[in-house]
Structure 1
Amino acid sequence: MSRTVGIFLFLIGVMHAEAAAKPHVISFGKSTAVKWLTGANEENAVELKVRALYVDARLKEYTLGLPHDITDRLFVVRRAYRLNDTLPEDKAPQWRWQRGGWLLVDRSTGHIAQVALPEFDPYYSAVTWYRDYAAYCGMAGEGKTPYVLVAQLGRRKPIVKKSLATGKTEGLPDSLCAAPRWQRPGRVTFEADGASLSFDVRGQTAGPVVAEAGEEEDSD
């Protein structure tokens, strides 16, 4: 009897081990065009391309744009979601698509987590990724002070956070500043307030690039 129980427990352990070792399948669905309402009175309809994100053939999230590989195991992708826009007097449900933040996906475990980017605004911020760094313009404080920021995955505080003189959004998406530009090995350039700001990012630190030094490098 004890031998039978031992064999049974052994088989259970083998099955659990096989289940734990089974790789997860991460896949995206077909791109679907949806309308995203923008502007102060939501008077402008912008077309977004939305794709479903599946883990083991199960729908987990909706996404926008192309994913960015952090490593061969991890990638980030922009999230999209439907917001309930139904009023109490509406007879039928009303739903509207919205842009969300960013998702971190682990291909090995199938785990999906939301990325916390400091001062990120889903409407006004345009993010450019490089390695595990995200560069963008965001807003903070009661007065909604605009900043240029560089954040690193896994860190709560941004590596770069510099305030801008003005924050002319004009009510348009991604209008705090143009999408930042990255250069190897770790230089990022922001175009905001009619000026260019560059920073050299090294590990968990960063420093501004002096204009004269940049001009000398260009002339070499």
Structure 2
Amino acid sequence: MSADPETPLRADAQRNRDQIIAAARVIFASHGPEVPMEEIARAAGVGVGTLYRRFPDRDALIRAVAVDNFAGVLDHARRLAVEAPTAWEALVQLLYHGAELQLSMQLSMLSQRAHEILKDDPEVAHLREAVLLEVEGLVGRAQAEGTLRKDVGAGDVAVLFARLIRQLPAHRLKSPEMATARNIAIMIDGLRAGPATTLPGRPISKEDLL
């Protein structure tokens, strides 16, 4: 009894798609979504024709990467909310989960091209709101624990992180990863409860970002 002749093709197509998304995630996070498609295909180890068969244009690839990435961040945030010993620890671990969270900020807040493509996509909007809802929950719980300052909101955390990862060009820093990690640590200290400078205005909420 012979195997279904379509099965290997489907498996190859899925593997190629996964490789393309994985390569695009890395490249988009470090260089933004304007990188030439040929470079993404080369990083994925596939031909340009294969890339365009899976994703007919850049917009389709950006959407696919965004859905995959937001889903990964959401799953990680939900697991941390359950498994971390405190809400503060969950929030800290989420912020240090740099690659996925950094790409989310690139796609949703830092890249105008990606923002225009994704702003009306219902699946991306649903996942983005769900991520912010998880962050909002962690913020509220950490404030109730007394570990997070009371005058910040989930939007403040998202905006801080987005500003932090707007990295200098690679040639300006010898160790960009170390610089980002150090700045996350400084940011986390600024979020800790305790004597601090009074912030102007009001806490930025997730609704301010949606």
Give the alignment's TM-score, normalised by structure 1.
0.23
Q: Higher Cα Rg: structure 1 or 2?
A: 1
Q: Which has the higher helix share?
A: 2
Relative contact order: is structure 1 or structure 2 higher (C-alpha 8 Å, sep ≥ 6)? Answer: 2
Give the alignment's TM-score, normalised by structure 2.
0.23
